[in-house]
Structure 1
């Protein structure tokens, strides 16, 4: 992560020597990270204080460090090691990132949403880097610490910066948006994630719309045209573009045709046909969000097609993995809400060529006081051609509750287990070359640990295309 020392605002503290010619630095917040010529930013959290680990940071490549004024100055560091005294190291990190962004001046695309923001980020990047020097959020660095680190890691010649913005409380997106000053903002959808903190879907919509608080005047807001909670946004400060299946959408999705490895679709019944190599009908809309962003930057349709065709998605988002005995495992373990779980189940049901369609579903968190009913709502899509439903965890058991109470098993086999370890022996018995098995739950459950045991290789099998 490269940054010039001249962007650091604070008083330099040196006992001997000078900065040693430190004209370019890398930024590190983890003292265990090995890095060359690094600026160490010691953060303070509820249970840690990074200032205690300066010596380790130096051993791992730190060439300078920010230092909070109220912290005692260290005595066991090299005499010529520079410290930059600041009031708050996190605020200094954010200020440096803001200054670096102003210096580089890329177009900024900010993406948020209850579901699909990481996939949309990957799609936007895949398309835009066909025409621009593009950089995107790495991993899940999408909060008040991660986003500044993302900004500072972009090359100086970046033309388009794609930032994923996460949140779970009011005010967080306002801060991130005002720091990044996006030219284009995308809200993928309004689900139930973080409803525990935001009170209702209306509260979630209000919090997501905070992304416009830093949107540049004359910029573009791209929204889900099928979401009523986003249909009443009216302003002259920026342009609003809606994407969806509804008649009122600016980019109306039409003529969707399923392929073995994704979907083919048109827009507004036009002649421009696109394909997206990603399972899940919801990914068609994610692709259209990305397409709308690209068209805002005047990209032509052929480059957009090429970008979509070369799409690489972040792991654990409907990732295909080769399972034991020829089975296909679907790793959708990154996170879950009722909305995203239902969408994944519908995709599982639509997969052709399998006699056994197995859904392994677990606890979902941050759903608030209505969490049991929200878990139970998933049962409405637990229908044929699913053959097996396995739930894991106390909350996960609620998912299958309505099936048991109504006796509506039909040909569906339903089993519930308290832990992953309890479920594993049964899951092994279901694996053969006629089986596709989906794993979906909140991040805390880490269901991917089951996939590690049930897979033959971390590599995804290549499926034929039509």
Structure 2
């Protein structure tokens, strides 16, 4: 489906086209020359180790009909009639094009950020809003200064709502994303320890997350974890609070973990959420708050929540050949999310429980403290704790003195797999949790 003609792009960057070129239809906007597309606008990004201008020939072979082009790059091997629109910086041009497309379509944009739970909350919100609106959402990990523009530019022209995840690791990054996406409403799920190495403190993390208000539309609502003082004391006027205490606008009044789901009561309405963990009840509260704000009937929103399906590697349940249940929650990790996952497994009805916990990254001076915190949350409901990597050894050091289960640290994934295999039977549940770069999914591949 056509997003726009090349004339839309040319006008944005003050570029002249031939009459024939003006009417070229653009269906896809992309940065990866390996993609096969139809009627694509290729935008070559320059990285630390690559320059995608070098791959223009491949992009043309696979469906590019035009490209943005840095003025500092000499075009070589490009057909004479192939349209190049010259810009000073292709990355900034990608961001400018996305912002212009967002303004042209003018959907309602929901920005979602936070230390933990961004993706789950995004999925829950999108599910609720899709009951009433044609809804687009961030796919995969497209939540940064390149991913957000691509998410916006993937919208079909008839999209009514975009739920956009916004990630960051440093100050200024959320402000940039907010200025591109210009959210009508925004959600901050919580303030944890993620990226504390670069932001210095939880106060610094809160400041960075609150940058989402920089591009927030006038009268836009900021939906927050209402039990987090670093958010409730912020001066932004239009806040909706979600949480567990009486002061919240959307209160989780009751939570019960079932075998495969959770019973949740929010503002006197009880429903079954197909996710485990009290933290998921809070994420559902964010979604219900957004749904009601957007005029979605509460019963329809809850129907959507009761049938929601999460992306892989987020408390994904997998059975091994020995009959054990493996919980693959290894998409990413912080100390807060690791403790939350441990608490969920504690309540699961299995005779034996094993946790495989890998390094939590980007903690800087807080590395030992954060890993110790995880260890302190573990008790004798677990039969074995295996850690993998470097910093995760601090988890074992944080274990209570009364912990009587097996504990062992590994630097070899193969050795870990061999030890773990000996623990597996049909009465055992295993939690896998660690930072994404630790690649714990490789353990599952060996167990299946």
- TM interval, short-chain normalised: over 0.9
Match of 1:389 among 381, 385, 396: 385
State the distance in 2 between where 1:187 and 1:380 align. Answer: 27
Deviates more, 1:222-231 or 1:156-165: 222-231
State the distance in 2 between where 1:189 and 1:331 align. Answer: 22
Is contact 2:257–2:277 with CA below 8 Å preserved after alignment?
no
Aligned twin of 1:408: 402
Aligned twin of 1:425: 418
Aligned twin of 2:439: 446
State the distance in 2 between where 1:168 and 1:390 align. Answer: 28
State the distance in 1 between where 2:96 and 2:120 align. Answer: 29
List aligned pairs for 1:15-414, cutoff 5 A: 18-19=20-21, 21-74=23-76, 76-236=77-237, 239-268=238-267, 270=268, 272-352=269-349, 354-403=350-399, 407-410=401-404, 412-414=405-407
Aligned twin of 1:464: none
Aligned twin of 2:3: 3
Residue 230 of structure 1 deviates from its aligned partner by: 1.0
More relative contact order in 1 or in 2 (CA 8 Å, sep 6+)?
A: 1
State the distance in 2 between where 1:196 and 1:258 align. Answer: 34
Is contact 1:2–1:154 with CA below 8 Å preserved after alignment?
no
Q: Relative to 1, partners in 2 of residues 1:100 and 1:246: Cα closer, same or farther, differing over 3 Å?
A: same
State the distance in 2 between where 1:234 and 1:396 align. Answer: 38
Is contact 1:349–1:384 with CA below 8 Å preserved after alignment?
no
Aligned twin of 1:459: none
5+ residue gaps in structure 2?
none
CA RMSD across the alignment = 1.6
Q: Relative to 1, partners in 2 of residues 1:20 and 1:329: Cα closer, same or farther, differing over 3 Å?
A: same
Q: Count residues with an aligned counterpart.
A: 445
State the distance in 1 between where 2:75 and 2:288 align. Answer: 52
State the distance in 2 between where 1:234 and 1:259 align. Answer: 39
Residue 83 of structure 1 deviates from its aligned partner by: 0.6
State the distance in 1 between where 2:286 and 2:162 align. Answer: 16
Aligned twin of 1:463: none
State the distance in 1 between where 2:198 and 2:119 align. Answer: 21
Is contact 2:314–2:329 with CA below 8 Å preserved after alignment?
yes
Deviation string for 1:350-383 (max 9, x for gaps)?
A: 111x111110001111001121121111111110
Residue 12 of structure 1 deviates from its aligned partner by: 4.8
Aligned twin of 2:429: 436
Q: Relative to 1, partners in 2 of residues 1:51 and 1:107: Cα closer, same or farther, differing over 3 Å?
A: same
State the distance in 1 between where 2:99 and 2:369 align. Answer: 43
State the distance in 2 between where 1:399 and 1:276 align. Answer: 31
Is contact 1:263–1:278 with CA below 8 Å preserved after alignment?
yes
What is the DSSP-based 3-state SS (H/G/I as helix, E as strand, rest coil) of the residue aligned with 1:324? Answer: coil
Residue 92 of structure 1 deviates from its aligned partner by: 1.1
Residue 126 of structure 1 deviates from its aligned partner by: 1.1
Is contact 1:69–1:86 with CA below 8 Å preserved after alignment?
yes
Is contact 1:169–1:197 with CA below 8 Å preserved after alignment?
yes
Is contact 2:359–2:392 with CA below 8 Å preserved after alignment?
yes
State the distance in 1 between where 2:361 and 2:164 align. Answer: 25
Is contact 1:328–1:437 with CA below 8 Å preserved after alignment?
yes
State the distance in 2 between where 1:434 and 1:99 align. Answer: 55
Is contact 2:110–2:162 with CA below 8 Å preserved after alignment?
yes
State the distance in 1 between where 2:257 and 2:374 align. Answer: 24
Deviation string for 1:251-306 (max 9, x for gaps)?
A: 111122222222122224x2x22221101221010011111111110111111111
5+ residue gaps in structure 1?
456-466
Is contact 1:11–1:84 with CA below 8 Å preserved after alignment?
no
